[in-house]
Chain A
Amino acid sequence: MASVLSTVAPQFDDAEQQRAAATLGMWIFLATEILFFGVLFAAYTLTRVRHPEAFAAGSRLTHVTLASLNTGVLLTSSLTMALAGHAARTGARRALVAWLGLTVALGAGFLAIKGIEYRLDFTEHLVPALNFAYAGPRADQVELFFFVYFLVTGVHALHVFIGVAAIAAIAVMASRRAFTPAYFTPVEVTGLYWHLVDIVWLFVYPLLYLVSRA
């Protein structure tokens, strides 16, 4: 019981209130994240409706195989994170550390595949402001598509990176017995963040990679 009491901050009455506050706080933060990405989706939408052909042409130049593989990797990392949550709830410390470690590995894998993709984009002269070269019509608007592509995937990758770092930190805490079945709020709220990053990608993927493939 003492270990439970020691984790309640003085402004709270009890652990239950603290847990409710942390969860609500995380959800509000996620709502701000949704609107943060909302600007990028709005910029994408308004630019695409004005230049549909250029967006179609640009999208066909993206690397759909790598992106689809990456979607699978990210979805799987969401599963391992959910399983980490179950392990925390049941107090299975070794399983918790293992699932968290696997999530970190999958998140890092996502970033690695993303890096390979960026390298291909670079060698194919698709990086705006750096080495962009496109011979077809509407080259300016295609460049704008790739600007949006790097912007959206870049901001998303930054979120993945932050998520990987946070989950790694949680894994270290878990291995040091910081969590009990009565107190594992950090595992829960970090999981919420990770799932949201996953959700953002679920929209990024078809909107950037699958336009006009047929």
Chain B
Amino acid sequence: MKTSYLTAGFGLWSWLATRDHKRIAILYTISITLLFFIGGAAVALIRLDLLTPHSELVSIETYNKLFSMHGVIMVWFFLIPSIPATLGNFLVPMMIGARDLAFPRLNLLSWYLYLLGALFAIGALLAGGVDTGWTFYTPFSTMFSNTHVFAVVAGVFVAGFSSILTGLNFIVTIHEMRAPGLTWFRLPLFVWSMYATSLILVLATPVLAMTLFLIAVERLFGIGVFDPALGGGPLLFQHLFWFYSHPAVYIMIVPAMGVASEIIGCFARNGIFGYRFMAYAMLAIAGFGFLVWGHHMFVSGQSAYAGTVFSLLTFLVSVPSAVKVFNWAATLYKGRISFDAPMLYALGFIGLFTVGGLTGLFLASLGLDVHLHDTYFVVAHFHYIMVGGAVMAFFGGIHFWWPKVTGRLYPDAWARFAALLSFFGFNLTFFPQFIVGYLGMPRRYPEYPPEFQVWNVLSSAGASVLAVGYALPLFYLFWSLRYGPPAPDNPWRAKGLEWQTPSPPPPENFLATPVVAAEPYAYADEDSRSG
């Protein structure tokens, strides 16, 4: 049998000291899955508590800690690294025909930093948690909260450097290590999405790191630039925080767009419509993302003039987003569509992303936002993007590349069932939140008027369906590792370079350095040849 990256070394140390991007991708996958279920456990308790108008399950203090840890873990320890650190790590070198990332040791270091940050966060959780929300708004986080703000902030700070190293590695790799003939406009859109994402990781994350450092210093010494008592500015904190945290949403969604593009091209057997515009649109989303952060502060006391400008700039983001949705639809048009599991996830992604994007326009409108700010409408909106969009695409990507990564096929019927269940459960969970939010239910409160109960019960019922939809793949994918039939090199007849090498790939990725002579997504050509 040929040596694959999985059989190139055995024992724990061959994994913990590996510099192979494929193995690091697996290490990341295992760790973020663990954190995903911790964050999920927190929200399970939240949804249970919200079944009744009175907070009967947990105390109000515990409730605050639950939604804070849910946010912190899901944002920084699951969503931010989700696609880039797992699929991106595995696929970027393979898709560009390279042997590894440019800096393999930095890549391993980034995983260890992630792990260290996660340990801080989990440690803080065990020690009693944090109650500031994932946003750490000052002066509550700096002066008043008596919970483990310092440890959590330290964890996110450390994990931030893991993001920066990943982004840096990807940019250098994509610039310098493409195979002969692989020009920029022959790159798969997934690589473009990783490039755009890396730009955000590298430019935004340092701002978060230093802002968190300022929180830590202010907590430690009791003095700082965010302290209103001395003439400091809580709004200064919000500016700095959202300068990172708005682009951070695009760190989650742009990779999802890349995954969806790969899957839709393959299962529609069609070239991606408007390929160049798809690439430009992702860069535009990454760029515009830096100009819109003030829309999180419309009702925080920001000046009305600044609010107007931020509102206008926010509407600009809808242009490249709409270009993408239009081009996916146009790719499906006259394609020969097959509904395999990855395709179901990708189609679900388009639908949920569209709903999330359109409701974003509601929130970008100054007047409407006064009504909707800090209600469940906002919660529903960003879950449609970050969970409906990003997590659906993440699962789609896992299913699409699973045969390549593991060399095994999973039972497709189960996978389709899981995809449909997730889509159904997701909508049942979050669509009622649009309604209850519009009716005026604020976020982050464990108690609510009795007339909102029906929407909350629907939402909690949906959450339990969603949980099954997310847990199912864990079972059949694990099952496939042992009992699944061996995967051929290219089970989907896909076109990327990663499919031109054995499944699972050899340690050096390719038996010979590939040479690229054609555009990506040449699915339409195969028709004219065969027919």
Give chain A's interface residues, CB within 8 Å of chain B: 9-12, 17, 20-21, 24-25, 28-29, 31-33, 35-40, 42-43, 46-47, 50-51, 54, 128-129, 140-141, 143-144, 147-148, 151
Contact = CB atoms under 8 A, between A and B. Distances in A.
B217 A151 contact: yes
Given A47-B232, A47-B236, A24 B100 contact: no
Contact of B240 (A24, A42, A47, A151): A42
Interface residues of B, number: 41
Contacts of B100: 10-11
Nearest to A11: B100
B99 to A, nearest CB: 5
Most buried by B among A9, A29, A35: A35
B494 interface: no
Most buried by A among B173, B210, B229: B210
Given A11-B100, A42-B239, A28 B177 contact: no
Given A17-B176, A39-B214, A10 B168 contact: no
A140 B239 contact: no
A140 B103 contact: no
23 contacts: A12-B177, A21-B172, A24-B171, A24-B172, A24-B175, A28-B202, A32-B164, A32-B203, A35-B204, A35-B206, A37-B210, A39-B210, A42-B236, A42-B239, A47-B225, A47-B232, A47-B236, A50-B233, A51-B231, A128-B221, A140-B230, A143-B223, A151-B217
Given A11-B102, A35-B204, A35-B206, 9 more contacts: A11-B177, A24-B176, A28-B172, A28-B202, A32-B164, A42-B240, A43-B240, A51-B231, A129-B222
Nearest to B212: A39
A32 B230 contact: no
Contacts of A37: 210
Contacts of B210: 36-40
B205 interface: yes
Given A28-B171, A36-B210, A128 B236 contact: no
A125 to B, nearest CB: 15
B390 interface: no
A25 B240 contact: no
Contacts of A43: 214, 225, 236, 240
A33 B171 contact: no
Nearest to A139: B230
Give 10 closest A-B pairs by Cβ, nearest first: A39-B210, A11-B100, A129-B221, A36-B206, A35-B206, A21-B102, A140-B230, A32-B206, A21-B176, A141-B231
Nearest to B104: A11
Most buried by B among A24, A36, A50, A147: A147
A121 B203 CA distance: 35
Most buried by A among B98, B101, B230: B230
A151 B239 CA distance: 19
Interface in B392-446: none
A20 B176 CA distance: 7
Given A32-B168, A140-B231, A10 B99 contact: yes
B325 interface: no
A32 B214 CA distance: 17
A147 B220 CA distance: 13
B449 to A, nearest CB: 40
A207 to B, nearest CB: 14
A47 B225 CA distance: 7
A162 to B, nearest CB: 14
Contacts of A11: 98-102, 104, 177
B225 A147 contact: yes
A147 B104 CA distance: 40
A144 B231 contact: yes
Given A17-B176, A46-B233, A47-B225, A25 B207 contact: no
B486 to A, nearest CB: 28
A32 B225 contact: no
B4 to A, nearest CB: 18
Contacts of A144: 223, 225, 227, 230-232
Contacts of B229: 140
A46 B231 contact: no
A48 to B, nearest CB: 11
Nearest to B171: A28
A9 B99 CA distance: 11
Contacts of A25: 102-103, 168-169, 172
B504 interface: no
Contacts of A38: 206-207, 210
Contacts of A51: 231
Given A17-B176, A46-B233, A128 B99 contact: no
Contact of B202 (A31, A47, A151): A31
Contacts of A36: 206-207, 209-210
Interface in B194-250: 202-207, 209-211, 214, 217, 221-225, 227, 229-233, 236, 239-240
